[in-house]
Structure 1
Amino acid sequence: MEESESVWEDLSNIPADPPSKRKLCDKCKRPAVVCWCSALPSERITPRSNIILLQHPAEEKRCLRTAPMLQLGLAENKCLIFKGKRFPLTRHENLENILRQPNTILLYPSKASINIEELDSKEPSYNIVLIDGTWPQAKAIYASSPILHTIKQVKLVCRNISNYIIRTQPTEGCLSTLETAAEALSQLEMDPKYSELLVRPLHMLCQYQLDNGAVTHQSKEFLIKTKTYPKLIGKRLSKLLKSTNDNDESLTNFTKNGL
């Protein structure tokens, strides 16, 4: 009887409410212990151009995404995020108007895309549209959004290696959404501060992950070249790598999560 009473006493001491969650940062919404807000620019940067992110819904669930760093690093309303699998939808207020403006450009590596450096330098500002998602997600969004096919398409041609070293990139030239936007702004505004200041939170995030057990990831392209890639190579990856090698350019600068 005493044992039974002891069990009930133990059960009665269990709190009815669930344990409190870790304290979250008010800005980045990450747990305070892994907050990267201290690495943000001391003052939010105000470029002439605007960043427009067309974000696949799955991106919002990723804990290591870089879009929030971009949105918090730039001045308010300088980085707009629209979520969906096709664009525009009726809920995307003012997006169609933005996409139809003559100074809107789409960072997308199509056959029709031109080097971003070839854009008219006399244009005071641009609406820079990026698709935020994996390569298959980005292709699906592009295919299901006919309005994107009518926008002037540009590409980044750079030799930068991504600092997003805790994620596996498809090819050596792939950059995260944050890095792509920062590089595009630096080139269009002719000011290196964007690619220097905006990516600091990413450095902080990666360093924290590495200090706590994460490992540096090489790109799929590097692993394949060194014959250390653990999986069979699919047709899509083979075609992408062949195109990259033939053109000696980065084909997928706007995607960060793989093929």
Structure 2
Amino acid sequence: MTCEWRAGVSLTPGDMDTQCGDLSALSISDKSSETPAESTYNASTCRGEHEDNAGGFGELSQLPIEINERRPTCLRCGRPQKVCLCPFLPACHLEVSTSLYIVQHPAEESRVLRTVPLLAACLPPEKCKVFVGRRFNEERNPELAAVCQDLRTLILYPGPDAENLEDMNMDFSAAPYNVIIIDGTWSQAKDMFHRNALFRLPKQVQLNSSPSSQYVIRTQPTNMCLSTLECAAVTLAIMEKNKAIEELLLRPLKALCSFQLQHGAQVHHSKEHLLRNGMYDKPMPKNKRKIKRMERLVSNQNI
């Protein structure tokens, strides 16, 4: 940041340095005609002017300092206390046998309207663990590596090799299972999935009959895309065979979106919806791969 400051004198700091140097040279050359007292006075006066005016710090130091204090934050939901969502959270942690492991892209940490803190507030700490990073391996992440190598671990990531979770002929109540969910934008999630060999060890699953997203304050690629909290809610409802879990987990998300819309936020339609209805107002990409991807969105083909 560049800041200009005008002192009470017309000299710049560079000019003052030069003039101070000239005065010092003059006092040395005329040392025979000056008394020691006069020489000391000239040098100290020059230093004083230089210290008072150099860079304007003399006057700037007298200005009041503004301290921006962060708003008090709720320890449970992670929201500012004035917009706390705890009234919409379950009264106590939900009892589930499935353990969720959220691998979160670092960029998600700085987002204000995140869903993972709400998810974590609804579940016991040992049932919802968050790992932040782009790259994970057995040496740096032994706990996550052990989970990936467990035969009772599933990773929720759509694709041609993924099996529909609803159609799996498995009794998830017979033993506790683990589910890994990647938290990030779709491009970030794709990059993390393909660059981490650990994530290709668990069985890959996807949600086939998921509801329309309630997370309307962020843009999704398609109408079928869900937020991390919504994915977790649907997954737990299926694996725990309890539809009420989904409803309880979605309550704080609905409250969050409702509050934002009441205070000026706009409904964000999916990119698919915007393209289909001629509402997409951004420049079309020049990359052929991205153009084909957008064409598939319009034609409702799987991506």
Does residue 191 (structure 1) correspond to residue 242 (structure 2)? The answer is yes
Could you say which residue in structure 1 is the equivalent of 2:222? 171
Does residue 236 (structure 1) correspond to residue 285 (structure 2)? The answer is no
Does residue 79 (structure 1) correspond to residue 128 (structure 2)? The answer is yes
String of CA shifts for 1:71-123, please: whole Å, max 9, x gaps: 11012210111111022364434111111000101111121101102334324
Distance across 2 between alignment mates of 1:60 and 1:246? 32
2:95 to 33, 43, 46: 46
CA distance 1:142–1:91, shift in 2 (3 Å)? same
CA distance 1:175–1:17, shift in 2 (3 Å)? same
Does residue 147 (structure 1) correspond to residue 198 (structure 2)? The answer is yes
Does the CA-based 8 Å contact 2:148-2:201 persist in structure 1? Answer: no
Could you say which residue in structure 1 is the equivalent of 2:301? 246
CA distance 1:98–1:225, shift in 2 (3 Å)? same
Does residue 126 (structure 1) correspond to residue 177 (structure 2)? The answer is yes
- Structure showing greater radius of gyration is 2
String of CA shifts for 1:112-153, please: whole Å, max 9, x gaps: 101102334324332111110011111111111012122210
Per the TM alignment, residue 187 of structure 1 is displaced from its structure 2 partner at its CA by 1.0
Per the TM alignment, residue 237 of structure 1 is displaced from its structure 2 partner at its CA by 6.4
Does the CA-based 8 Å contact 2:74-2:81 persist in structure 1? Answer: yes
Per the TM alignment, residue 17 of structure 1 is displaced from its structure 2 partner at its CA by 6.8
**Which of structures 1 and 2 has the larger relative contact order (alpha carbons within 8 angstroms, sep 6+)?**
1
Give the alignment's TM-score, normalised by structure 1. 0.84
Higher helix share: 2
Does the CA-based 8 Å contact 2:78-2:117 persist in structure 1? Answer: no
Could you say which residue in structure 2 is the equivalent of 1:112? 161
CA distance 1:67–1:19, shift in 2 (3 Å)? closer
Pairwise CA RMSD? 2.3
Distance across 2 between alignment mates of 1:119 and 1:67? 26
Equivalent pairs counted in the alignment come to 239
Does residue 56 (structure 1) correspond to residue 100 (structure 2)? The answer is no
Does the CA-based 8 Å contact 1:167-1:217 persist in structure 2? Answer: yes
Distance across 1 between alignment mates of 2:159 and 2:275? 24
Per the TM alignment, residue 240 of structure 1 is displaced from its structure 2 partner at its CA by 6.3
CA distance 1:89–1:18, shift in 2 (3 Å)? farther
Tell me the SS of whatever aligns to 2:179. Answer: strand
Which deviates more, 160-169 or 27-36?
A: 27-36
CA distance 1:184–1:150, shift in 2 (3 Å)? same
Could you say which residue in structure 2 is the equivalent of 1:255? none
Instruction: Return the letter of the residue paired with 2:155.
Output: L
Q: Which runs of 5 or more residues in structure 1 are unaligned?
A: 1-10, 252-259
Distance across 2 between alignment mates of 1:46 and 1:91? 30
Tell me the SS of whatever aligns to 1:94. Answer: helix
Does the CA-based 8 Å contact 2:162-2:204 persist in structure 1? Answer: yes
Tell me the SS of whatever aligns to 1:207. Answer: helix
Does the CA-based 8 Å contact 1:115-1:157 persist in structure 2? Answer: yes
Does the CA-based 8 Å contact 1:171-1:241 persist in structure 2? Answer: no
CA distance 1:146–1:237, shift in 2 (3 Å)? farther
Distance across 2 between alignment mates of 1:194 and 1:61? 28
CA distance 1:237–1:161, shift in 2 (3 Å)? farther
CA distance 1:63–1:90, shift in 2 (3 Å)? farther
Distance across 2 between alignment mates of 1:159 and 1:23? 36
